[in-house]
Structure 1
């Protein structure tokens, strides 16, 4: 276990409240741990005010420059009146702080519930919000945050699993299968042509969108990076092909009101889904020495898990061979 993975052991209730109070707030001793594994997140009660959300960053993952750049992006979106939950800034304009070696940020509490992606009216609204977001995201690139690419999400993820995690009885099957998947990923990227990479949220699943007052509020830009616009759209699609096309049509009807979507990016949906699958297993593997992970994901790294993973990847191989979705 590395020093980086030990860092969260400091996060006692007293430590969390001391960190928040170091920025001039007065805690009322209410402290609730929220569901988060990559970082650690707490709802902290504040005297005579609404609670704050304190987010403590995993040491060694993002540099200070990368975190600040993420903050600046969400603050830029908020300045354009987009419904994002941006970090709190102190009077000096700072949003990233340190307390005894741990980096942290503070956010206003935002209520809401997960959006209903089955509701086409909701998808129309989400499309409009994402179109506005991407119009701003395309103005300039990130300087410090990474790009979603096949090397980091695909090849490096597969190499880690092959070298350290795949059971011997599945190594040959996993190696042959992932070789084919990586080849198809590269072919899919090439077939899409000249891809426009912009600043995106990067992780637009339902847990990172809070629906309130008939509108979405985007939270947790921790995975924000340079990527094709479709990265923020494809996770909202589900079900049979006809259903996905209807959902996509609703999303893009709203999206294109504010920013032009390149239909060539539809070729990337299954490519990006495959990269996410490969990256997710590698993410669990990289964090397996964090004591929170075996508790939260007890099924990972078992023989049964890898058998099921190979079946899912074979299904994804078939999905990569299907023609891309087409607009109505």
Structure 2
């Protein structure tokens, strides 16, 4: 492998099929790369069987214990008949495998399309499912996976951008708005008081939910972590304030059928949104040496991007000054 190539460059079709066949399957020579950047994910055809989804983990991101804890959470949820796509396990109960220096997992293929969050009936169903997921997620904490907090998602993200990426002409504006934003985020989190942290999906956007036969299927728990329950709800809210309140009402109506929701967590919606904006830029920056990122995100780290990013951060600061969402 060339010195300057990325580790993922060795994931050729033969390598991928060899990994799958190391677990006793016979591939039919069909491989299809799926949209995934943090890890690498492929659909692999299996002779006399349904295709499998093969996920190769980014080296150095998670420990084995963290990955296995995610797997156990998914298996636990699936064991309660929840629509979660859990990893395949071999006869010994193993779900994390190794091949050629990579760790990988296998998943059954799940069809479907992104849910329509504008459909309140869909949100009612999603609320029910998340209520059930969170009821199980609250039974015990994660021991190895991280906590969603302002230090890792906010302060460390801003430090990375300031030190390595922000162009000189935008640095002063970026520092000013992020200093104030982090201050307001920390104040908002403190004002909400201690809230319960549970095992969550952590990245519950439309791309990680497959809708089929009038029901959702939750996939990709790679970002699962301890967080307030509202972390898995707020990404489904969009539009003006009345619309977001209607969406929230539908979600929590379904949620309440299976689990209690602490209304204090509504104060966390905009702080969590702000942390996601900060973290997303830092995620792109931290992965910029991966050749897949400049190809997929050519607009990142351009003058236009940083100008628009500063505007977005100022808008988020204004959103934090508004009263939290409240149910009618």
TM over 0.5: yes
Alignment of 1:254-273 (within 5 A): 254-273=254-273
Distance 2:226 2:148 in 1: 6
**1:66 has 2:66 as partner:** yes
Secondary structure of residue in 2 paired with 1:107: strand
Residue 175 of structure 1 corresponds to: 175
Distance 2:275 2:5 in 1: 25
Residue 156 of structure 2 corresponds to: 156
Structure 1 residues 11-68: Cα deviation after superposition (integer angstroms, max 9, x where no partner): 0000000000000000000100000000000000000100000000000000010000
Instruction: Say how many residue pairs are matched.
Output: 327
Distance 2:212 2:302 in 1: 39
**1:322 has 2:310 as partner:** no
Secondary structure of residue in 2 paired with 1:59: coil
Secondary structure of residue in 1 paired with 2:37: coil
Residue 277 of structure 2 corresponds to: 277
Instruction: State the shift of 1:7 in Å.
Output: 1.6
Residue 137 of structure 1 corresponds to: 137
Residue 126 of structure 1 corresponds to: 126
Residues 4, 239 of structure 1: CA spacing in aligned structure 2 closer, same or farther, 3 A cutoff? farther
Secondary structure of residue in 2 paired with 1:196: coil
| Misfit runs of 4+, over 4 Å | none
Instruction: State the shift of 1:4 in Å.
Output: 11
Residues 56, 139 of structure 1: CA spacing in aligned structure 2 closer, same or farther, 3 A cutoff? same
Alignment of 1:85-124 (within 5 A): 85-124=85-124
CA contact (8 A) 1:4 1:58 kept: no
Distance 2:291 2:113 in 1: 29
Instruction: State the shift of 1:9 in Å.
Output: 1.1
Distance 1:305 1:246 in 2: 32
**1:309 has 2:309 as partner:** yes
Residue 185 of structure 2 corresponds to: 185
Distance 2:32 2:304 in 1: 34
Instruction: State the shift of 1:194 in Å.
Output: 1.2
Distance 1:259 1:4 in 2: 51
Secondary structure of residue in 2 paired with 1:28: strand
Distance 2:303 2:247 in 1: 36
Distance 1:261 1:158 in 2: 31
Gaps of 5+ in 2: none
Secondary structure of residue in 2 paired with 1:31: strand
CA contact (8 A) 1:200 1:229 kept: yes
Secondary structure of residue in 2 paired with 1:202: coil
Instruction: State the shift of 1:5 in Å.
Output: 7.8
Distance 2:9 2:297 in 1: 19
CA contact (8 A) 1:4 1:60 kept: no
Structure 1 residues 224-274: Cα deviation after superposition (integer angstroms, max 9, x where no partner): 000000000000000000000000000000001111000000000000000
Residues 5, 67 of structure 1: CA spacing in aligned structure 2 closer, same or farther, 3 A cutoff? farther
Instruction: State the shift of 1:6 in Å.
Output: 2.3
**1:51 has 2:51 as partner:** yes
Distance 1:21 1:71 in 2: 21
Residues 35, 269 of structure 1: CA spacing in aligned structure 2 closer, same or farther, 3 A cutoff? same
CA contact (8 A) 1:85 1:219 kept: yes
Residues 37, 261 of structure 1: CA spacing in aligned structure 2 closer, same or farther, 3 A cutoff? same
The two structures have a TM-score, normalised by structure 1, of 0.98
Structure 1 residues 278-326: Cα deviation after superposition (integer angstroms, max 9, x where no partner): 0000000000000110000000001111011000000000000000000
